[in-house]
Amino acid sequence: MTTEAISEVVIEAPVIAAVAAQAARATPGVVRLEPGVRGLVSTLVRVGKQRLTNADPAASEGVRVRKNAAGELSVQVDVVISAARAAAVVGHAVQQEVSRVVFEQTGQQVDEVSVSILDIEPERR
C-alpha cells in the first residue's frame, strides 16, 4: 500500500511580478517599464530585503502583484509605450500577454491586469 504525501507549492508575489515584468517588456509597443513613485518605494524595500539575504533581485520594477482575501490575483503594470502603436492596443496586448505568461510559467490564474501608460515616446527617425 502506498501513501501519497500532500504538499502545497506556493509561488510568492515577487516571482509572479518578475514573470509579469518579463511578459510586459516583451509585448510589441512597450518601450520599458516605469516603477513610478509607489513602485520605487516597494522596489527599494524588496531589494533591501533580498540584499540582506544575499539574493539577487529579479527585475520586476514597474509591476505590483496583490492577492486579495479570496485568493484572487491582480497585477498592476506601469509602462512607457512607443507612439508607433495605439495606446489602447498596446495596453490590451500587455494585459493578454501578462495573463498568459504568468499562467504558463507559474500555473497561477491572473484575475485582473491593470495597465497604466505613464508616457508615450515619439518615434525615433
Query: Model-level pTM greater than 0.85?
Result: no
What's the burial of 9, exposed, middle or buried (CB within 10 Å: 0-12/13-18/19+)? exposed
* Number of structural domains found in the chain: 1
Residue 7 lies in a domain: no
Residue 81 is part of which domain span? 13-121
Greater confidence, 93 or 51? 93
Going by their DSSP bridges, the two strands 73-82 and 110-121 should be labelled as parallel
Residue 107 lies in a domain: yes
CATH of the domain at 112: 3.30.70.1350
Residues whose CB falls within 8 Å of the CB of residue 89, separated by 6 or more in sequence, listed in order:
29
Report which DSSP code applies to 75.
Answer: E
pLDDT, tens digit (0-9, with 9 covering 90-100), for 5-38: 778 878 889 899 999 999 999 999 999 999 865 5
pLDDT, tens digit (0-9, with 9 covering 90-100), for 58-111: 668 899 999 988 889 999 999 999 999 999 999 999 999 999 999 999 999 999
